[in-house]
Homo-oligomer: A and B are copies of this chain.
Amino acid sequence: MKNPSRPPDCVLLFSGGIDSTTLLWDLRNQGRHPHLLSFDYGQRHRVELKAARTIARITSCPNDTVALPTWLFQGSSQTSDEISVPHGHYAAESMKLTVVPNRNMVMLSLAGALALSLKCKDIFYAAHSGDHAIYPDCRPEFVEILRRAFLMASWSELMLNAPYIMWPKKMIVQQGASLDVPYELTYSCYEGAELHCGKCGTCTERREAFELAGIPDPTKYTA
């Protein structure tokens, strides 16, 4: 571990999935030292937190998980047992069932609080263009508005950065492959079992990204 006591210089929203893990490698490649922030809101796919912790450990990044009560986030397949996870293509209308109410604004605002507490000036967020159709809070207009909100709430101290916001996911995978990201450690599946189901929206998107990128997919899928 090189310079373990070096303080973090930014906060990265970190799910342990492909996008935020690639951004972590990207930031480290640029000499940045992020504090990783994850969330346990009772999500069906909370096994992602185990992936996040493993990746934090091997990168020696400081990391924390904030626990939030599930009752704040009802009406999504990811927080309500009685709503099944939709299968099929990620951009399909049915995937709106997976939207967790206002989740990303909540996560980003807490990342902002932590960044100010740590005296860091940057928040990083790995939203990408594949998310735009279904997730309103992954769109560039939303990021731009929140960027202005952070500047205003912090006397211009805090910047929200979303460097992949216009990238398709295949570009993220290509970028990550060039940085040797250990994708076998990342987790995406909305069903939340140990192995990726291979059928839900995020598994479909994950598979497609590797295929389109021309990069071998190291993921073990159940089906």
Query: Could you show 11 A-B contacts with beta carbons less than 8 Å apart?
Result: A66-B72, A68-B110, A102-B150, A103-B113, A104-B153, A105-B153, A106-B106, A106-B113, A137-B153, A139-B152, A145-B148
Contact with B along A61-75 (1 / 0, CB 8 A): 000101011011111
A112 within 8 A of B: yes
Query: Does A116 interact with chain B (Cβ within 8 Å)?
Result: yes
Does A167 touch B at the CB level, under 8 Å?
no
Any B CB within 8 A of the CB of A136 = yes
Would you call A117 and B69 a contact (CB within 8 A)? no
Annotate A175-191 by CB proximity to B: 1 below 8 A, 0 otherwise. Answer: 00000000000000000
Seen from chain A, the residues whose Cβ lies within 8 Å of a Cβ on chain B are 64, 66, 68-69, 71-75, 101-106, 108-110, 112-114, 116-119, 136-137, 139, 141-142, 145-146, 148-150, 152-155, 158
Q: How far is the CA of A106 from the CA of B101 in the complex (A)?
A: 14
Minimum CB distance partner of A106 in chain B = B109
A142 to B148 alpha-carbon distance, docked (Å): 9
Copy number in the complex reads 2
Other-chain contact of A117, B72, B117, B141, B152 (Cβ < 8 Å): B72
- The answer to whether B142 and A154 touch across the interface, beta carbons within 8 angstroms, is no
CB pair B116–A109 under 8 Å, yes or no, is no
Inter-chain CA distance A69–B68, complex, in Å, is 10
Instruction: Report the Cα distance A155→B158, complex, angstroms.
Output: 27
* Bound-state Cα–Cα, A109 to B104, Å: 9
Q: How far is the CA of A98 from the CA of B150 in the complex (A)?
A: 18
Question: Would B153 and A136 count as touching, CB distance under 8 A?
Answer: yes
> Could you say which residues of chain B place their CB within 8 Å of the CB of A119?
75
If A68-B66, A149-B149 touch, whether A113 touches B154 (CB-CB below 8 Å) is no
Q: Are B66 and A117 in touch, CB under 8 angstroms?
A: no
CB distance from A146 to the nearest CB of B (A): 6
Query: Knowing A102-B109, A116-B101 touch, does A149 contact B142 (C-beta < 8 A)?
Result: yes
Q: Say yes or no: B149 contacts A105, CB within 8 Å.
A: yes
B102 near A112: Cβ-Cβ < 8 Å: yes
Q: How far is the CA of A119 from the CA of B75 in the complex (A)?
A: 9
Chain B residues near A145: list those with CB within 8 A.
145, 148-149, 152
